[in-house]
Structure 1
Amino acid sequence: MTESGKHQLFTLTRAVTLLLAVTCGTSVAGLYYAQPLLVTIADHLHVSSSTAAFLVTASQIGYTLGLMFLVPLGDVLDRKRLIVAMMTVAVAAAAGAAASPNFVTLCVLLVLGGITSATAMVVVPMAVGLAAESERGRVTGTVMGGLLFGILLARTVSGAIAEFGGWRLVYVAAAVALAVLALLLVRILPPIAPTASLTYPRLLRSIFTIIGREPVLRGRMALGFLAMCGFALMWTSSTFLLAEEYGYSDGVIGLFGLAGVAGAAGAPVTGRLVDAGHARLSTTLTWSIVLVGWGLLALGMHHLPAFIVGILLFDFGVQAAHITNQNRIYGLHPDERSRLTTAYMVTFFFGGVAGSIIASLAYDAGGWLLVCAIGAGLTTAALAIWATICATTERETKI
């Protein structure tokens, strides 16, 4: 079925778009629930805190596997059925995590939960495919905004629920939320015909073919890597700054995530810029804002208002850059959107891994100012890459 045919049968209303955004956020939040609970889980399951920290890594390993091996299936299977199936497994994984009798069982279930967290990256290309062409930027911005809110709010929500009813209740609540969302999607979404007919091995191999064929994709993958690298660098090392320089508790530090949410909330407006044919302006503007954000964050070492404004601008810019990247790659080939998502998001995720590693090393070596200098350097590199892209890869296209 063609995209136009789907539009005639189903209208992607704002309410449905919001539901898909919530689905993305709830799915990916499972990667981060354990972070504020590590000490409590370590005590309850009788392991060391350093051992418990592997739970976060386990979730991330699972997510990478899901991105690489499940998300591409969105091109050859009914995306609705794929999403519901993955969420059903996610419900079982979360419920099992809540009842885990020991650390090994919990670790295995969090790997499984991480794999199914990749549901979010099946939802995004599906939403883009269901949207009218004139609204794809707005829809991408809204759905990706939901995903980022899930990332930023997961720790706060997890800590609050655990404070009220213990760490197991966090996973009970996650299972219930995912089950409710899956039931809503079953009732609301239409069947979505596959866009390609390939065997699974050929499907996976074709991802590399697409990367080699599409210079626009390669450019946006590079920008995505740098965006997520900077994002992880800032949020990981900011914890050290707020604890050591400002003396804030874990609870107060967690509240700074709300500033990130506030900044990211404005980012979907860039989707409207893209819809209006100003993707080039949007990319230039957002990376410039990220650079200004790093400058304010550097001042924030001793001036809290500058730090907060820096977070607002930084998170706005990173999220806006991400939205613009995805909107651009989804315009390449509608029948390859799930594989385009895998190529882009795996690179994006590896940027986050690199940023987390750099954060601890940089902060130990030179403190917050070195972190900000590296962040500004990453942003300058992104602007240089973008200038090259504008002059070559995307010169002939409407960007």
Structure 2
Amino acid sequence: MISPRQVFLMALSCALAVSPIYYHQPLLPQIASTFAVPAARGSLIATLTQLGYAMGLLLFVPLADGVQARTLASRAIIANAVALIACAAAPSFVVLAICSFLVGMSAISAQIIIPAVSGRASPAMRGRVVGSLLGGLSSGVLLARTLSGVIGALLGWRSIFVIASAIDLALLVVIRELPVATTLATIRYRELMRSLVGLIREERLLRVSATMGFLVFAAFSALWATLAVLLARPPYQYGPATIGAFGLVGLVGLSVSTQLGAIVDRIGARTIASAGALTITVSFAFVAAGGRSVACLVVGMVLLDLGNRASFIANQARIYALRPEARSRLNTVYMVSYFLGGALGAALGGVGALRGGWFGLAAVGVFLSLAAVAVNAIAYCRSSPALTEAQTYVGSVDDAG
């Protein structure tokens, strides 16, 4: 079992570990200006960071089923600190893009922590524990966007990467509280990677959850990867500090993460996953009006955050119920798909914003979120014992059709 103190410390670790993949977002116009590249091209940094994160999840996180999570996470944190310093010293946009990929690739500690901790929780409490850890992730996102905006305005964008590297050193201390696994798989790396393909082939619910995660986070990233560029344009023409302050909308979702986990435990992952995706669809109706009303934009961002959070908790909670001995690998498949979606969403959001402004961005988000709803609905239109059995841990069995 996992104690409340350990859950809190691991949620804090998740917050510090995930921050590096979001520090750049409010600073993209400033970075583009430094290297004299078009503002829209700055979204390439966001795309490569997400791709790097997906690659790191694929190559390294599965090792947590055979290596102590504390050891693996510590090594990743050290590598991340080095990559952040390289970003701070980057002499060109190309070098910064490469270093950003490495930052993403090494910022994987949170996804080592989450399965290690959730695996120690009882089935009846797993949704709440996942919700608490996701609250930590959200705190890190909020910290990253807000802090980087302020620091970027005061000291320039390079300074935040130096500060982030120092934060990694503090994380090395906190990570010592990560529970030690009593049983580890004895499996070679090649077989470990091959087993990912087996999990995808054999676990239909994993495929459904991973596809939903791909589409939902693509919609989420479409906004956040282009928000700074749109807000830097007329009529707003905001600077980095103001743009970073928009990250504070995450406080709403942060305050209800644990409650969302409890709702998943009570109602069921299937329902909450679809409800989250539909909430994102509604959010983009408000985002479409973002060019004329800051209030509409903020409402849309709050709904987007809540929808993404609800769908994330539901999808992760239901895949953790599949195979206890392979939680890190299940999490790897899900999170790789999730952040590949983020990379695609960042690219599509940039194209949509470039061609249609706020309406173009909203069109991308609506399409992606409705596709996620369709995936979940179609999956349950067919009778599937695997899908039905996977719902029992949340206290009720959803009708599989």
TM over 0.5: yes
Unaligned runs of 5+ in 1: 1-6
State the SS of the aligned residue for 1:70.
helix
* 229, 254, 260: which one aligns with 2:218: 229
Q: How does 1:237-276 map to 2 (within 5 A)?
A: 237-244=226-233, 246-250=235-239, 251-276=241-266
Q: Tell me: CA distance 1:53–1:302, structure 2 relative to 1, closer, same or farther (3 Å).
A: closer
Q: Relative contact order: is structure 1 or structure 2 higher (C-alpha 8 Å, sep ≥ 6)?
A: 2
Q: How does 1:115-264 map to 2 (within 5 A)?
A: 115-186=105-176, 188-244=177-233, 246-250=235-239, 251-264=241-254
Equivalent position of 2:372 in the other structure = 382
* 2-structure distance, mates of 1:366, 1:87: 39
Instruction: Report percent identity of matched pairs.
Output: 33
* 2-structure distance, mates of 1:52, 1:357: 11
Q: How does 1:316-395 map to 2 (within 5 A)?
A: 316-392=306-382, 393=384, 394-395=387-388
Q: Match of 1:338, as an amino acid?
A: S
- Greater shift, 16-25 or 132-141, is seen at 16-25
The alpha carbon displacement at 1:52 in A equals 8.0
State the SS of the aligned residue for 2:181.
coil
Q: Match of 1:230, as an amino acid?
A: A
Contact 1:195 1:336 in 2 (8 A): no
The alpha carbon displacement at 1:347 in A equals 1.0
* 1-structure distance, mates of 2:90, 2:348: 35
The alpha carbon displacement at 1:118 in A equals 1.1
- In the superposition, the TM-score normalised over structure 2's length comes to 0.85
Q: Match of 1:192, as an amino acid?
A: A
* 2-structure distance, mates of 1:397, 1:32: 33
Q: Tell me: CA distance 1:304–1:35, structure 2 relative to 1, closer, same or farther (3 Å).
A: closer
Q: Tell me: CA distance 1:346–1:149, structure 2 relative to 1, closer, same or farther (3 Å).
A: same
Equivalent position of 1:283 in the other structure = 273
Q: Match of 1:69, as an amino acid?
A: L
Contact 1:74 1:194 in 2 (8 A): no
| CA offsets 1:325-355 (integer angstroms, 9 cap, x no match) | 0111111111111111111111111111211
* 1-structure distance, mates of 2:45, 2:286: 34
- In the superposition, the TM-score normalised over structure 1's length comes to 0.85
The alpha carbon displacement at 1:216 in A equals 0.2
* 2-structure distance, mates of 1:92, 1:81: 17
Q: How does 1:75-114 map to 2 (within 5 A)?
A: 75-95=65-85, 98=88, 100=89, 102-103=91-92, 110-114=100-104
Q: Tell me: CA distance 1:38–1:274, structure 2 relative to 1, closer, same or farther (3 Å).
A: closer
The alpha carbon displacement at 1:33 in A equals 2.6
The alpha carbon displacement at 1:72 in A equals 0.5
Q: Match of 2:296, as an amino acid?
A: A
The alpha carbon displacement at 1:220 in A equals 0.6
Equivalent position of 1:3 in the other structure = none
State the SS of the aligned residue for 1:130.
coil
- Greater shift, 236-245 or 353-362, is seen at 236-245
| CA offsets 1:34-82 (integer angstroms, 9 cap, x no match) | 44456766888xx544698765555444323311110000111111221
- Greater shift, 368-377 or 318-327, is seen at 368-377
The alpha carbon displacement at 1:12 in A equals 2.5
Equivalent position of 1:298 in the other structure = 288
- Greater shift, 54-63 or 64-73, is seen at 54-63
Q: Say what the alpha-carbon RMSD is for the aligned residues.
A: 2.9
The alpha carbon displacement at 1:101 in A equals 7.4
| CA offsets 1:148-195 (integer angstroms, 9 cap, x no match) | 332343132123234444545423322332222211322x23321354
- Greater shift, 285-294 or 106-115, is seen at 106-115
Q: Tell me: CA distance 1:271–1:242, structure 2 relative to 1, closer, same or farther (3 Å).
A: same
Contact 2:318 2:390 in 1 (8 A): no
Q: Match of 1:207, as an amino acid?
A: L
Unaligned runs of 5+ in 2: 392-397
Q: Tell me: CA distance 1:107–1:246, structure 2 relative to 1, closer, same or farther (3 Å).
A: closer
